[in-house]
């Protein structure tokens, strides 16, 4: 917890040159970045609205090297932020000006493939899609498939408990990870889980999924593999009313039928994706549902297979497609009970008009996991602040209907104020106690995910009178 950091440290100059020399004692020179030019590419993750140049960047190549980095930082009371592929959308990898950014980009080896046990053990920098590519010859695949799967890394997926278009049936990252190795802030290597159904000791595996780099630095992941379905067929349904589309999702789930994927896109997203990829979407529809059926059928017709890939390609390209129609967009992430999809989408439309900012909706409808994309122009004074305020209102709407402020992107810095809305003072106190058990000095990714009680008290006052809190928890770094 950042409150326990030595306040005097903030007054001392950051020892960049001294640290760089010490790190280069066991790391290749090119793996320690200290110049402005080299540090600038690491100033943000996929949520580019927040930027901060790190104090220093290191790219270890082995667990031993990564452990040594952590030991040095712990001894000096210097905070560390772990970073994967940098595709996160909540500012979870936002660096610290007085801290070390520990990149896992060089941990890209697939260590073991066990087709009999249907497992793969990989380093955290391995791309999500690369796992499926590596095991395809065995008729296997890795189920969680975020839209960024060609770029995002498995370590980041674990840190954020990433989802994907097929997670309705096959679960989130937490349901598909069997074992982890991670380093504590003091450089101690811990193993949790494994290839067996049960392991001795406390079950900390689920705790690490979605921990956002606050409890440890993931250095190895063992994932569960599934047999590739013999048949997969997608059905597209178009609606003239977005509420009807939301109601259709609830009806499908209520029937007891669980599709492989059930995704929804509204008209602005449909038009953006169609213009970008020409997937064959009906551009006049108010909303579409993509419903995929997969299973053990004997064959899939070649035509259906082609259309399936084309439709899903359009869905997975929705984010870059929207990027073509707006200078900037702000991607939200909240989850609601599926029965409330229709009313919540209507309310998002009302908020969009209230703030004068277009909102494109593309999300994991079957999970109730919303991804409203708020379109804005960061070059217009005040528009980012208005966008952040609208995003906060949407997240609070999710909580209001019994949902949560994040489904898969994590809290990071983006949603830290809304944590004060979702959780009580007593619950937040327990979160801080858990954090303290793993990292008593608060050096691992400080100021992220769990707000201080002081911040929540301040946010309550700001909420009444208007205004936007920034991030005082990490300014000391």
Selection from 55-69, 253-267, 436-450 with the highest mean pLDDT: 55-69
Q: Where are the alpha helices (DSSP H) in 178-323?
A: 205-208, 242-254, 267-277, 302-316, 318-323
Give the model's pLDDT for residue 1. Answer: 41
Q: Among residues of the chain, what percentage have pLDDT more than 70? A: 91
pLDDT, average across residues 302-325: 72
In the chain, how long is the greatest CA-to-CA distance?
Answer: 68
Give the helix/strand (H/E) hosting 36. helix 36-39
Give the model's pLDDT for residue 3. Answer: 43
Give the model's pLDDT for residue 257. Answer: 73
Give the model's pLDDT for residue 232. Answer: 79
Give the model's pLDDT for residue 297. Answer: 62
Scan for tokens 């890795």, then name that residue: 142
Does the fold of domain 231-400 match that of domain 2-103? no
Q: Give the DSSP letter string of 349-382.
A: HHHHHHHT--EEEEEBGGGTEE-EEEEE-TTSTT
Residue 301 has pLDDT above 50, yes or no: no
Residue 299 has pLDDT above 60, yes or no: no
Residue 427 has pLDDT above 70, yes or no: yes
Rounded CA-CA distance 153/173 in Å is 12
Residue 94 has pLDDT above 80, yes or no: yes
| Closest C-alpha among 210, 325, 344 to residue 264 | 344
pLDDT in tens, 356-408: 999 999 888 888 999 999 999 999 999 999 999 999 999 999 999 999 999 88
Rounded CA-CA distance 142/70 in Å is 31
**For the chain, what are the domain ranges?**
2-103, 110-227, 231-400, 416-475
pLDDT, average across residues 327-355: 93
pLDDT, average across residues 27-39: 97
Given CATH 3.30.43.10, say whether it is the number of domain 2-103.
Answer: yes
Residue 323 has pLDDT above 90, yes or no: no
Show the 3-state SS of 152-210: CEHHHHHHHCCCCCCHHHHCCHHHCEEEEEEECCCCCEEEEECCCCCCCCCCCHHHHCC
The CA angle 426-427-429, to the nearest 5 degrees, is 65
Give the model's pLDDT for residue 293. Answer: 77
Q: Among residues of the chain, what percentage have pLDDT more than 90? A: 70
Beta bridge partners of 192: 180
| Closest C-alpha among 289, 284, 261 to residue 274 | 284
Given CATH 3.30.465.10, say whether it is the number of domain 110-227.
Answer: yes
Tell me the pLDDT of the chain averaged across its residues. 89
| Closest C-alpha among 392, 424, 427, 397 to residue 411 | 392
Give the model's pLDDT for residue 316. Answer: 81
288 phi/psi in degrees, rounded to 5: -130, 150
CATH classification code of 231-400:
3.40.462.10
Strand, coil or helix: 236 = strand
pLDDT, average across residues 51-78: 97
Tokens of 415: 């949603």
| Closest C-alpha among 172, 170, 190, 165 to residue 180 | 190
The torsion angle over the Cα atoms of residues 172, 176, 177 and 178, rounded to 10 degrees, is 150
**Between 168 and 231, the higher pLDDT residue:** 168
| Half-sphere exposure in the Cβ direction for 239 (13 Å, CA) | 17
pTM of the model: 0.80
pLDDT in tens, 173-228: 999 999 999 999 999 999 999 887 777 777 899 999 999 999 999 999 999 999 99
118 phi/psi in degrees, rounded to 5: 55, 55
**Between 190 and 315, the higher pLDDT residue:** 190
Give the model's pLDDT for residue 300. Answer: 41
Which pLDDT band holds residue 321 (cuts at 50, 70, 90)? confident
Which pLDDT band holds residue 312 (cuts at 50, 70, 90)? confident
pLDDT in tens, 233-268: 788 989 988 998 998 898 888 888 788 888 999 999
CB contact set of 442 (below 8 Å; sequence gap of 6+): 1, 2, 3, 4, 5, 79, 435, 436
Give the model's pLDDT for residue 2. Answer: 42
């Amino acid at each position: 917890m950042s409150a326990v950091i030595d306040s005097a440290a903030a007054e001392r100059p950051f020892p960049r040159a001294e640290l760089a020399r010490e790190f280069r004692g066991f790391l290749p020179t090119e793996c320690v970045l200290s110049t402005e030019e080299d540090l600038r590419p690491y100033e943000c993750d996929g949520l580019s609205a927040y930027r901060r140049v790190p104090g220093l960047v290191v790219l270890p190549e082995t667990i031993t090297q990564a452990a040594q980095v952590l030991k040095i930082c712990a001894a000096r009371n210097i905070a560390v932020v772990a970073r994967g592929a940098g595709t996160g959308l909540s500012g979870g990898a936002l660096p610290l000006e007085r801290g070390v950014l520990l990149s896992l980009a060089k941990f890209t080896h697939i260590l073991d493939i066990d087709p009999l046990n249907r497992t793969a053990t990989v380093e955290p920098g391995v791309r999500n899609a690369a796992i499926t590519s590596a095991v395809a010859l065995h008729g296997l695949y890795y189920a969680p498939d975020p839209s960024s799967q060609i770029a995002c890394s498995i370590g980041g997926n674990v840190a954020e408990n990433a989802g994907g278009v097929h997670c309705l049936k096959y679960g989130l990252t937490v349901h598909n990870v069997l074992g982890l190795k991670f380093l504590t802030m003091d450089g101690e290597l811990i193993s949790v889980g494994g290839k067996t159904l049960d392991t001795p000791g406390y079950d900390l595996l689920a705790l690490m999924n979605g921990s956002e780099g606050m409890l440890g630095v993931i250095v190895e992941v063992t994932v569960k593999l599934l047999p590739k379905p013999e048949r997969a067929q997608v059905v597209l349904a178009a609606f003239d009313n977005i509420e009807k589309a939301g109601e259709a999702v609830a009806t499908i789930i209520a029937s007891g039928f669980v599709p492989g994927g059930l995704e929804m896109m509204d008209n602005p997203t449909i038009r953006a994706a169609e213009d970008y990829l020409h997937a064959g979407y009906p551009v006049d529809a108010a909303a579409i549902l993509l419903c995929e059926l997969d299973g053990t059928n004997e064959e899939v017709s070649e035509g259906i297979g082609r259309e399936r890939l084309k439709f899903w390609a359009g869905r997975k390209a929705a984010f870059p497609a929207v990027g073509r129609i707006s200078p900037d967009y702000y991607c939200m992430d909240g989850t609601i009970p599926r029965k409330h999809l229709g009313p919540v989408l209507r309310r998002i439309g009302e908020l969009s008009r209230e703030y004068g900012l277009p909102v494109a909706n593309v999300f994991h409808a079957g999970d109730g996991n919303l991804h409203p994309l708020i379109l804005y122009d960061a070059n217009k004074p005040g528009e980012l602040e208005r966008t952040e305020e609208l995003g906060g209102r949407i997240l609070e709407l999710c909580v209001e209907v019994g949902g949560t402020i994040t489904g898969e992107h994590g809290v990071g810095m983006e949603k830290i104020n809304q944590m004060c809305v979702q959780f009580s003072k007593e619950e937040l106190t327990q979160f801080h106690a858990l954090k303290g058990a793993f990292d008593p000095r608060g050096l691992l990714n400080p100021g992220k995910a769990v707000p201080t009680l002081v911040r929540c008290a301040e946010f309550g006052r700001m909420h009444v009178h208007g205004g936007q809190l920034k991030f005082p928890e990490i300014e000391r770094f």
